[in-house]
A and B are shown apart, each in its own frame.
Chain A
Amino acid sequence: MGTKKKTVYDDCISKGVSRRDFLKFCTTMGALLGLEASGVAQVVKALEKKSRLPIIWLHLQECTCCSESFIRTSHPILADLIFDQISLDYTETLMAPAGFQAEKSMHDTMQQYKGEYILMIEGSIPLENEAYCCIGGRSAKQILEEAAEGAKAIVAWGNCASSGCVQAAYPNPTKATPVHRVIKGKTVMNVQGCPPIAEVMAGIIVHLLTFNRIPQLDRLGRPKVFYSRRVHDTCYRRANFDAGLFVESFDDENAKRGYCLYKMGCKGPSTYNACGIIKWNEGTSFPIQSGHPCIGCSEDGFWDRTPFYKRQATINAFGVEATADEIGLALGVATTGALAAHAVATNIRKRRLINNESSEEEGTDH
């Protein structure tokens, strides 16, 4: 170990980033995290004084879209922060070493920074048969459990690690399980989304670095800073919803006018994410803005809440897939039929029923 660990700021300066740009970055991050103006100073201080965060970034059952999202953060410093300043000590996709060296690098980090490193996980863990996901001869579960042991904080990136995502969709053949169901007794931050927004991911890292503790989480383990509001409530098309102006099909006049996508199956009303505020790709757009309904990728089990393009509850019973309304209507018709049959039967028997009753009154039946 060197005499003094390099700070994020040191790295920035040596990279030729001006102090002005550095401060701009800190301000952006402060704004994203919803800090007061004074809070920005804390971010600056943290990045100036604190040494780099050791990070172990695991890739389990996943598609790497979280990493892809992350490396496309809008702010240039952010990219540097990820690749250079924050030490990504182990990440299969981006690290230089391979094979035994890579494994050694992970073990070194785990021993050297025991209780200090941050464990970040992309992907779910197969429990049906652990062999479904093996790296370096060890199963995902083993790797995760070992890495979680000495971790200071655990971040589950994306829907895979937070709730299983597509591989956990019905019938979930590998029994893909999210991190918080495998690691017991430790708080897991679920940074939801498929993938999560890059700025959200960066915000989480800056928060950890600045305040040295995990941000406030909601009841599903998602950081409240970014996941406390519905996409619906932050949607710029919301006024159309309240007015009752809806897109009826993707190619109609209403779609052109940018009306609400609710009837096209938009899951915005039940999805908690920051898409409507931070947006994607340097704040360019987000699905609804480009005319596509939200599919609710930051919610648990969103793959099973299909169809994506209809707002209907589908029920998969008896091998037949039907919407709740179809089943309800069928039951309604069946009930009406049964009642009609009952009424007919009653009438056929009515004379007997009434005779029975009147004879009873006359006292002959008693």
Chain B
Amino acid sequence: MRVRKENLKEVYVWEIPVRIFHWLNALCIVVLISTGFMIADPLAIIDATEATHSFGFGYIRLIHFIAGFVFFVNLIFRLYWSFAGNRFAKWNNFVLLKKEQWQELFEVIKVDILMLKTKPVESIGHNAVAATTYFVLFLISGLQVITGFALYAKMSQAAFPQLFTWIIPLLGGEFIVRDIHHCITWVFILFMLVHVYLVLYHDYIERRGETSAMIGGWKFVKEDIVEQLELKDEEMEKQKRARRRREKRRKIWRP
């Protein structure tokens, strides 16, 4: 029996809201892509029916529109959770503002893509490359939502989709808006390919429960990495406490 990796800890990385967002988002994307292609190029039906009793294509579009709304609301929820969620879900994971994040970005590119190094970068949450990709995808999703609702606005009596119609004169008509909406679909397909592959790759190489983490939320992380983080947290906590104490003292002496 071969056994290894004894000194691992389980860390709760993906909270339930993050996981629900992830799978709902995945479901929406799959539904939107498949119905989207059906709308772009409908199935050929050769039969002599009259249109009166059939609403087949209408239902496909209905599913697309409903999935679009769910996709949008889900995105907004994730935006909220990037402020309310735990440290791995926070917005500052996705926008690279710190120097270490950029270092990690290049490190991950060297290891995973260029294969110049063999030592994996073991981040607990998203690594810097993944996070940046998700941030870009989030922006692209936004563009897809805007173009989608702008195209939908004419078919709706509701006030909400009308909020997005400004994009049409901005781009110069609905043709181009539709074309952009169509092209972005392919970005999602390409993203999905790479995303699924990389999850499998990380699981294969690092064996830390990368795949199952999005189901159960827990990930295996080396003790020393967790301890380092905990130490850093303690340090921060201490500093905070010290600052508070100092402020209190100031209040007492100088009323």
Binding site for B on A (CB under 8 A): 163, 219-220, 230, 233, 239-246, 248, 252-254, 257, 259, 262-263, 267, 269-272, 296, 299-302, 305, 311, 313, 315, 324-325, 327-328, 331-332, 335-336, 339, 342-343, 345-346, 349-350, 352-354, 356-358, 360-361
Contact = CB atoms under 8 A, between A and B. Distances in A.
B106 interface: no
Nearest 4 CB-CB pairs, A to B? A244-B57, A328-B186, A270-B174, A313-B179
Contacts of A248: 44, 46
A270 B193 contact: no
A313 B189 contact: no
Contacts of A357: 119-120, 206
Interface in B185-210: 185-186, 189-190, 193-194, 197, 201, 204-206
Contacts, number: 141
28 contacts: A163-B172, A220-B168, A220-B173, A242-B51, A242-B58, A243-B56, A243-B58, A244-B58, A252-B46, A263-B42, A267-B175, A269-B174, A296-B175, A301-B175, A305-B176, A313-B178, A315-B183, A324-B183, A324-B186, A332-B189, A335-B194, A336-B193, A343-B197, A343-B201, A345-B115, A350-B204, A352-B118, A357-B120
Contacts of B115: 345-346, 349
Contact of B197 (A239, A339, A358): A339
Interface of B: 4-5, 7, 40-46, 48-49, 51-52, 54-58, 60, 113, 115, 118-120, 151, 154-155, 165-166, 168-169, 172-179, 182-183, 185-186, 189-190, 193-194, 197, 201, 204-206
A353 to B, nearest CB: 5
Contacts of A254: 46
Contacts of B173: 220, 270, 299-301
A349 B118 contact: yes
B58 to A, nearest CB: 4
A357 B175 CA distance: 53
A269 B173 CA distance: 12
Contacts of A332: 186, 189-190, 193
A38 to B, nearest CB: 27
A253 B205 contact: no
Contact of B186 (A239, A331, A349): A331
A89 B27 CA distance: 65
A257 B176 CA distance: 31
Given A219-B165, A358-B4, A243 B172 contact: no
Contacts of B4: 358, 361
A335 B51 contact: no
Nearest to B40: A311
B179 A324 contact: yes
A253 B201 contact: no
Contacts of B56: 243-244
Most A CB atoms within 10 A — which of B43, B44, B168? B44
A85 B7 CA distance: 96
Contact of A243 (B51, B113, B197): B51
Contacts of A242: 51, 54-55, 57-58
Contacts of A267: 175
B190 A302 contact: no
Given A242-B57, A243-B57, A324-B186, A299 B44 contact: no
